Every structure is written in C-alpha cells, then in structure tokens.
Structure 1
C-alpha cells in the first residue's frame, strides 16, 4: 500500500484510504503471482505499481469513463487499467477478454479475491478482427471499449467504434488519432515517458 500512496502523491492525484487499501491488495496479489508466471516486466513493487496504476489513476481523475459504464478491455493482460478503475469506482462493471490461459487464471483469481465477481466477467478469447461485434453479441453490450498495447492506435479506434459508444485509445510513442472528444496527457514518474488517453465517440 505504501507504493500505491507514494505513486498517487507523485502524480498529485487524491486517493482515499479505502481505494489505497484495495489497490494495495491488487498489487500484492499481482506480485505474488508474478513470482510464478511472467505477468509483467516489473522488478520491484514500485515499478509494478506504475504498470498497474498510472493509467487508471489518470483515467479516473478526469472521468474518461462515464458513470455506471460497463467497460470492455480487449487483451486485458493483468487487468490494468480496468481492474484498478473498478477498485476506485464502485459504479463500474467490466468484461475482460484475454487469450492467454495463465493470465485468464490470474484475472479470475484477482476478480474473486478482490470482491469483484458480481461486477466483472472474464472471457478466455481473442477478438475476431473480421467480426468484432461477435464478442459483444455473445457477452453483452458495453459502454466503453479499451485496449492497452494490443493494437496500433488507428486500428484499435476502428475496432473499438464497432464495439461500444465510446472508445479509449492509449498512446505512448505515437500521436493519438484525430477527433478525440476528451483526452488527458501525463508522464510516467520513473521514466518521464509521455502517455495520452483519448476518448472517441462511435461514428
């Protein structure tokens, strides 16, 4: 939990004690699993906190995700930024889609142990690029679609707009696609690397 509070302070983002506790529990679980399977590139808990929480803290702080939204996370990996957002915002629900079985096992464990089972569905699948709508047709409508480091920004925007009324595009080295309705820019504290999260309406 100390790593969580330290990160929030460096980002100058307010964090309640309850939220810090919940994020700390997720951090500890991810660190524990990371000793057994390759979940992230983090070498210590400080680096892991950045991987898990930097994006989510900024996405929550500007409310890029509308109230009571169901969020689709394609290529969910270890669950960031979506699970941390849900731990900070009890109004949100999520559909996590991940093709790698070991990560699916981790996600299901995390969802259960963090008390999110009633709000999160984890699906072991890969998005069909030729028929992306099949995913939400099978697992229910979503309000927001996001993918972190899974597709090129322009490719994901085209896919996301077929899946949800709002698409979030996360970029690092690349410039965000034009036409965002809302965006936030920030830097990763340890490296200074620039990131942008942009929200787009469906066309």
Structure 2
C-alpha cells in the first residue's frame, strides 16, 4: 500500500517523532499505510473524530507509541481499541507483542480485520466483543486502554483477563490522582509514568495498575 497523498511535512513530522521516541524510522512506512487506510474508511464509517492527517500523526500514531518503553513482550489485550489505538501502532512497532484488538462495535471491528489483513500483522488479532464478555480469563500479561473509562471501570470490565502478575497499562491525560484513590480493594497503582508525546503540548501519563500484594 502506497500513501502518495501525504505531504513531505507530514512524513517529516512522523520521522522526527519516531526519532524522539527512540524508534526506527523504518516504521514510518507501515504506520503511514495504516493511516491511509484509516483515513479512507473514516470518510464512510466515522471511526475517529480526528480527520486531519497531520493531527492524526500526533494524536493517534505518536501518542499510541509513546507508551512503548513500558510495554513488555508477550500477550496484550487492547480494550475498546476503536480503530486500533494504541493496539495497531504497538503491533507494528513491537513484533515481540501478540496483540488482541478488543472492540464490540461492528463497523470498527470490520475495519480492524481489514487493517490486520492489509498490513499483514501476524502478531495481531481482532476479538469482536465487549471487554467484560471476553472469555479469556488470565490470558494476558498486559491489558491496555486509551480512552475507555476510569481506572476502576477498566479493572471492572477487563481485570479478569490479566494473568497473575499482569498489569493494566492505562493512558491518561493529567495525573489521575482521584482515579487512583478510587481503585477497588485488591488493586493498586504500581507506577505512574509521565509521557512525552512529540508535537503534543498536553499532559499525558501512563498508569500501571496491578493486583495488590
């Protein structure tokens, strides 16, 4: 898949962002293939409210990839992934991951299956399901969610998917002190990592949540 419509400035923005995140510029080609597919489908299916390609580079691609240093190899479930964020960028950048893209919306799941097929992502699969209905207890070392719910809400619908010692990796804006305080009994915030997203002025944090000792 070629993406000839993208401007040199957009391509440079992505290259610079990958450099800043310590990632190989060779990832730009498959990431732009994904972006081109998302833009094409978004015209009909309204998969994301962000429609400007330059903004998508920052708010979708680079924002998703900013968490990569904190992701361990192995199985990862991306809950409420929508059009595949952060799951597809992570699967592209991290072949050591096996990513399950969990999405209950039918049109989004159709897009995800087409993206996995066209991008030849052998390390990604689509689970068309609500997170709480996914019958794979203890199957994942990591669960992630980008814009799904509060920390307590994510634990409620996806905590059963985590293996012993597994972690929820929740992407948040400002430091979510109130959400951390509201975690249910038996769960705790293990770490909070400030994230620097190239080109994004807003605050971003990654919260690691696990079962309390």
TM-score category (smaller protein): 0.7 to 0.9
The answer on 1:123 being equivalent to 2:127 is: yes
> Which has the higher mean CA deviation after the structures are superposed, 27-36 or 105-114?
27-36
**Which of 151, 154, 157 is the equivalent residue of 1:156?**
154
Matches within 5 A, 1:64-79: 64-67=70-73, 69-79=74-84
How big is the shift at 1:58? 1.2
Of residues 78, 84, 93, the one that matches 2:89 is 84
Unaligned runs of 5+ in 1: none
**Does residue 98 of structure 1 match 2:103?**
yes
Displacement after TM superposition at 1:201 (Å)? 2.7
Question: Larger radius of gyration, structure 1 or 2?
Answer: 2
TM-score normalized by structure 1? 0.83
Deviation for aligned residue 1:200: 2.4
Match of 1:50 in 2: 58
Q: Distance in 2 between matches of 1:171 and 1:8?
A: 24
**How many residue pairs end up in the alignment?**
193
- Where does the alignment leave 5 or more consecutive residues of structure 2 unmatched? 1-5, 182-187
For the aligned residues, what is the CA RMSD?
Answer: 2.4
Tell me the equivalent position of 2:176.
175
CA drift at 1:9: 2.2
